Chain A
């Protein structure tokens, strides 16, 4: 049994781009966990998509062996955390598996909203927070100013914080020494009843669901029958081990340790993050605190693009779901798009990630419809319906009122952008709660915003209006009565249900006009004029027209070169294939995403 005093469990928390993954890479290299030769840029972020976007979506965890300056060898469990506002709950659970957190702050940029959000999460879990100033190799680094800022904003003394450059490999061992000195060793009862926290899980084709767990008390080994306290289900453990960073099977995992457990669980949703694992034969009486069944906040329709098979899309999203308990789906049909799925996501980024994974990993083309939040539709007869699909909105005559979800949003920006961002929030029907100067140059705005204003393009707009310096964190607070209307889009006088959306009355005109204009740009000219209309009920509130084409002919056949002509026709046909047919109107696939994008000029 490993002595707990030689174990340290910690996370790295940071704002996006502040260097979390690079630091993790360097730590893996320094401890010899990954040889320099095998070092892949940002080892822990092993999904291509994550590497490309520079954010962590799925957690990765690694056990490191480190010989400290005190002469002892320590086991360090580095628990990676996802880095986006959509995944706050996952972050909080991985933090709950640790005793300490290394807080990476970019010495050129200082504290950002995401940093604060993560710090608060870490404080909630009572973690020891160790600030680290990164990117000190850059000329624009201001370690003194930033460490003062940390003290001022977070109330942690950062004067002793290691000054490092993860990129250049400077100061990495200082970070590890700091962890050993200041992160408390775990102190669970090795002989107590098994109590382990599930902080992540993924699906493995051979082993089924693999759980990442932190053992607090007791121990677990192969052959044990374990019980998931919240789900109440029992499973037989088939393997336990640690990642270093590849899997290494162990005889058992004991108190204070972090590792993986596989127990032939079929679906990730059966082993939910936050659940407590115990022994069926000798169960603990108390579950670990903080368990929450994560519910999707944003819904959209997802349909096979022209030429894709429904079955292939179904197989693919089933595979993704086994790995992602927060992703929900159920079959639905659309008159415009045919058979597809209604999918639920944590947020818009989560949605984009799933779509991109379908495209890249499964090589599928899909169409998504306008994302929607969940509305509470209170009927005249007192019944309340939760509606997220515009097509399911009951007859307006039967509706007493509609309530929409409101979030509390914390927006951090440099002070020069206060004006434009307040304007943005006002435009998005926000109510300002208060504004505070965090430092002389940095302001935090606290707003209440309708979630449906946040999901469309708020984040893009914020980034664009603040040249990337603005950051956002939000959480759901309540439902509130609101004037929500269903906006329909008609092509050639026929409504296309896939374009319908629920919007606030005050926004209907703007959105209607925006969608009409966008579609006018995107829909190719047809043999006939294509009127595009936006309407609420019977009232047309915006319109645009795609002019008819009058000429589509290759006048000349070049001296018997039929192949060339065939190629031209094939190219033209290829373009048509990427179109969706609505009645007699052909609409390119990209129309569905384009109508959702933030437009700089609007």
Chain B
């Protein structure tokens, strides 16, 4: 999306979509989080971001204390843009830092360096942002444990309110994937990957961060309200290219083809797929998404939500996972949650509920 004309066309279409979606859903929803992300929204003119948020305010009921996040790339954002975002109502920032290590940033194909991250963070703070997330990635090819520890310590020195730390996911079609397939790079050893994960968890909790989801930690009160919605089976309306929604029990997504998106006359034309979740699917999603949270799922809430006893529904699978040391019950609050081991092997747990 380098051509500014396309940015404009895109935002116009996006605003149209917002108003279409509002016609259908505005009456039923009171927005308390807005998330501008997926891709790099910071590459378009900040004024366009403001047009988008304005459109949302006009079309929807938005809570006064609405959490409004934007994802930024440290190299494509400056203090002017950050101030514009503030004006647009954005109150939370997510900085895609990934690493402070030049070698690894280069490997990831990032155009920023460590100093861009510091500058970006300082500019954000002076622009009035106090709720800032910074992303880090570990388990990179050739990354050593001490390099990773260095990344985490550096970030703790910066001290953002929220830190995401992701294990590198090697997916088909990515550069890393083809490097590994062709032998140009070696996939990080699983053992090391987990050591890095544990290093991060320990350092963060030692610095007052609460580990609240598999890959997320935050200072108390700064958990991402928006992301928690995904993990708690709550509704969200997605707008824009390839955006996903979960509304009234339906999961649907927009087309991921830009030309198709731009040429859609109506909101319905943009839809790529739509699927009405069965109750079984909702229950399974409630469980496997909810278990991403370290507090896990509340068993009496499950019953209230679905009218079925959790143990009657998933007793056998759950007992077996507890037996394998992957899940545990926290009796005091009636929570079911992943154990430390379960956090490393979460998919082995989730798969039992699909």
Let me know if A551 and B345 touch, CB within 8 A.
yes
Let me know if B167 and A553 touch, CB within 8 A.
yes
Known contacts: A527-B324, A556-B166, A557-B230. The answer to whether A562 contacts B289 by CB under 8 A is: yes
Let me know if A550 and B344 touch, CB within 8 A.
yes
Residues from chain B with Cβ under 8 Å of A560 in the complex: 230, 236, 238, 243-246
Let me know if B166 and A555 touch, CB within 8 A.
yes
| Shortest 9 CB-CB contacts between residues of A and residues of B | A553-B346, A555-B167, A555-B166, A560-B244, A559-B38, A569-B354, A552-B347, A552-B345, A550-B190
Let me know if B194 and A551 touch, CB within 8 A.
yes
Interface residue from B38, B245, B326, B351 paired with A573 (Cβ < 8 Å): B351
Let me know if A573 and B244 touch, CB within 8 A.
no
Residues from chain A with Cβ under 8 Å of B281 in the complex: 566
Interface residue from B238, B253, B348 paired with A552 (Cβ < 8 Å): B348
Let me know if B351 and A556 touch, CB within 8 A.
no
Q: How far is the CB of A66 from chain B (nearest CB, A)?
A: 61
Q: How far is the CA of A549 from the CA of B347 in the complex (A)?
A: 12
- Give 1 or 0 for each of B333-349: 1 = CB within 8 Å of chain A CB: 00000000101111110
Q: Is A576 an interface residue (CB 8 A)?
A: yes
Q: How far is the CA of A562 from the CA of B193 in the complex (A)?
A: 25
Q: Is B92 an interface residue (CB 8 A)?
A: no
Q: Is B215 an interface residue (CB 8 A)?
A: yes
Q: Is A140 an interface residue (CB 8 A)?
A: no
Residues from chain B with Cβ under 8 Å of A561 in the complex: 244, 253
Residues from chain B with Cβ under 8 Å of A566 in the complex: 281, 285, 354
- Give 1 or 0 for each of A108-150: 1 = CB within 8 Å of chain B CB: 0000000000000000000000000000000000000000000
Mind listing 8 A-B residue pairs with CB under 8 Å? A550-B193, A550-B344, A554-B346, A559-B35, A560-B246, A562-B285, A572-B347, A573-B351
Interface residues of A in 428-446 (CB under 8 A from B): none
Q: How far is the CB of B72 from chain A (nearest CB, A)?
A: 15
Known contacts: A549-B190, A556-B166. The answer to whether A563 contacts B253 by CB under 8 A is: yes
Q: Is A570 an interface residue (CB 8 A)?
A: yes
- Identity of the chain B residue whose Cβ is nearest the Cβ of A526 in the assembled complex: B348
Let me know if A569 and B347 touch, CB within 8 A.
yes
Let me know if A556 and B345 touch, CB within 8 A.
no
Let me know if B345 and A555 touch, CB within 8 A.
no
Interface residue from B38, B215, B244 paired with A555 (Cβ < 8 Å): B215
Let me know if A562 and B292 touch, CB within 8 A.
no
Residues from chain A with Cβ under 8 Å of B350 in the complex: 569
Let me know if B215 and A556 touch, CB within 8 A.
yes
Q: How far is the CA of A573 from the CA of B351 in the complex (A)?
A: 6
Let me know if B253 and A550 touch, CB within 8 A.
no
Further contacts, 6 of them, CB under 8 A, given A559-B244, A563-B251? A527-B341, A550-B190, A550-B194, A553-B167, A553-B345, A560-B230
Let me know if B246 and A576 touch, CB within 8 A.
no
Known contacts: A555-B169, A560-B238. The answer to whether A569 contacts B351 by CB under 8 A is: yes
Q: Is B4 an interface residue (CB 8 A)?
A: no
Residues from chain A with Cβ under 8 Å of B273 in the complex: 563
Let me know if B169 and A572 touch, CB within 8 A.
no
Q: How far is the CA of A558 from the CA of B244 in the complex (A)?
A: 10
Across chains A and B, the number of contacting residue pairs, with CB separation under 8 Å, is: 90
Q: Is B288 an interface residue (CB 8 A)?
A: yes
- Give 1 or 0 for each of B29-63: 1 = CB within 8 Å of chain A CB: 00000010110000000000000000000000000
Q: How far is the CA of A568 from the CA of B171 in the complex (A)?
A: 12
Q: How far is the CB of A568 from chain B (nearest CB, A)?
A: 8
Let me know if A562 and B230 touch, CB within 8 A.
yes
Let me know if B348 and A527 touch, CB within 8 A.
yes
Residues from chain B with Cβ under 8 Å of A553 in the complex: 167, 214, 343-347
- Give 1 or 0 for each of B188-224: 1 = CB within 8 Å of chain A CB: 0011011000000000000000000011000000000
Q: How far is the CA of A576 from the CA of B246 in the complex (A)?
A: 29
Q: How far is the CA of A16 from the CA of B271 in the complex (A)?
A: 57
Let me know if B190 and A551 touch, CB within 8 A.
yes
Q: Is B275 an interface residue (CB 8 A)?
A: yes
Interface residue from A551, A562, A576 paired with B167 (Cβ < 8 Å): A551
Q: How far is the CA of A555 from the CA of B138 in the complex (A)?
A: 11
Interface residue from B37, B253, B345 paired with A549 (Cβ < 8 Å): B345
Let me know if A572 and B230 touch, CB within 8 A.
no
Q: How far is the CA of A576 from the CA of B273 in the complex (A)?
A: 27
Residues from chain A with Cβ under 8 Å of B343 in the complex: 553
Residues from chain A with Cβ under 8 Å of B251 in the complex: 562-563
- Identity of the chain A residue whose Cβ is nearest the Cβ of B231 in the assembled complex: A557
Known contacts: A556-B166, A562-B230. The answer to whether A551 contacts B288 by CB under 8 A is: no
Residues from chain B with Cβ under 8 Å of A554 in the complex: 169, 346-347
Let me know if B238 and A559 touch, CB within 8 A.
yes
Q: How far is the CB of A200 from chain B (nearest CB, A)?
A: 50
Let me know if B190 and A559 touch, CB within 8 A.
no
Q: How far is the CA of A563 from the CA of B245 in the complex (A)?
A: 10
Let me know if A552 and B289 touch, CB within 8 A.
no
Known contacts: A563-B275, A572-B347. The answer to whether A556 contacts B169 by CB under 8 A is: yes
Interface residues of B in 213-271 (CB under 8 A from A): 214-215, 227, 230-231, 236, 238, 243-246, 251, 253
Output the residue of A552, A553, A563, A566 with the most chain B CB within 10 A.
A553
Q: How far is the CA of A527 from the CA of B352 in the complex (A)?
A: 14
Q: How far is the CA of A570 from the CA of B351 in the complex (A)?
A: 7
- Identity of the chain B residue whose Cβ is nearest the Cβ of A528 in the assembled complex: B324
Q: How far is the CA of A546 from the CA of B343 in the complex (A)?
A: 22
Output the residue of A549, A551, A566 with the most chain B CB within 10 A.
A551
Residues from chain A with Cβ under 8 Å of B38 in the complex: 558-559
- Identity of the chain A residue whose Cβ is nearest the Cβ of B164 in the assembled complex: A556
Q: How far is the CB of B76 from chain A (nearest CB, A)?
A: 19
Residues from chain B with Cβ under 8 Å of A549 in the complex: 190, 345
Residues from chain A with Cβ under 8 Å of B238 in the complex: 559-560
Residues from chain A with Cβ under 8 Å of B351 in the complex: 569, 572-573, 576
Residues from chain B with Cβ under 8 Å of A559 in the complex: 35, 37-38, 238, 243-244
Residues from chain B with Cβ under 8 Å of A562 in the complex: 230, 244, 246, 251, 285, 289
Q: How far is the CA of A550 from the CA of B198 in the complex (A)?
A: 12
Residues from chain A with Cβ under 8 Å of B35 in the complex: 559
Q: How far is the CA of A162 from the CA of B37 in the complex (A)?
A: 79
- Identity of the chain A residue whose Cβ is nearest the Cβ of B245 in the assembled complex: A560
Q: How far is the CA of A549 from the CA of B344 in the complex (A)?
A: 10
Interface residues of A in 567-582 (CB under 8 A from B): 568-570, 572-573, 576
- Give 1 or 0 for each of A517-534: 1 = CB within 8 Å of chain B CB: 000000000010000000
Residues from chain A with Cβ under 8 Å of B227 in the complex: 557
Q: How far is the CA of A554 from the CA of B273 in the complex (A)?
A: 23
Q: How far is the CA of A566 from the CA of B231 in the complex (A)?
A: 13
Q: How far is the CB of B3 from chain A (nearest CB, A)?
A: 24
Q: How far is the CB of B1 from chain A (nearest CB, A)?
A: 17
Q: How far is the CA of A559 from the CA of B238 in the complex (A)?
A: 9
Q: How far is the CB of B255 from chain A (nearest CB, A)?
A: 14
Q: How far is the CB of A199 from chain B (nearest CB, A)?
A: 55
Q: How far is the CA of A569 from the CA of B285 in the complex (A)?
A: 11
Output the residue of B289, B324, B350 with the most chain A CB within 10 A.
B350
Residues from chain A with Cβ under 8 Å of B292 in the complex: 557
Residues from chain A with Cβ under 8 Å of B347 in the complex: 552-554, 568-569, 572
